[in-house]
Structure formats: C-alpha cells, structure tokens
Amino acid sequence: MGDGIHTRGVENYWSLLKRGLVGVFHHVSVGHLPEYLDEFQYRFNLRRVYDEERFASLMGQTQGRVLWYCQTPQPENPYA
C-alpha cells in the first residue's frame, strides 16, 4: 500500500471529467470527444501547477498549430 498506486486517482479523474462534461459543456459530440478528453487529461496532469504556469505551458505548445472549424474565403485586404 505504500507504493502510492491506488484507484482513487482514476476515480478522481473520471469524476472531474463527468462534472466538466455534464456541468460545463452540457453536450459533447462524438467527433470532438478526443479533444475534450485531451483537455481534461492536460488539466488533470497539471492540477498541482499554478494557473499562470499551466497557461504559459499551454501557450508554449500552440506555436504553429491552428484548428480551423470553418474556413470562409476572405477578400484580400487592399490596405495590407
């Protein structure tokens, strides 16, 4: 029992995930479920880190990544 491995961590993760999906997002489509699971996994793994550090870590991972949900053609800006 002293090795620090137990089922409470798994139960804690699933309760936080369930609370987030039911209480915050209300509806999650099957197509976007992996992104929601990734978000909750990230939050759970960094739960003991201050918000500022977590935010800085997250922003450090976004360089060069863009997720487009909708691409609409934009007219070229003549003033650019």
Encode pLDDT of 39-49 as tens digits: 888 888 888 99
The pLDDT of residue 70 is 67
Whether pTM > 0.75 for this model: the answer is no
Confidence of residue 52 (pLDDT cuts 50, 70, 90): very high
H-helix or E-strand spanning residue 78: none
Mean pLDDT of 8-16: 84
By CB atoms closer than 10 A (0-12, 13-18, 19+), residue 46 is: middle
Q: Picking from 31-40, 49-58, 59-68, which range would have the lowest pLDDT averaged per residue?
A: 59-68
Domain ranges of the chain: 27-54
What the block records as the tokens of 79 is 């003033």
Mean pLDDT of 67-71: 68
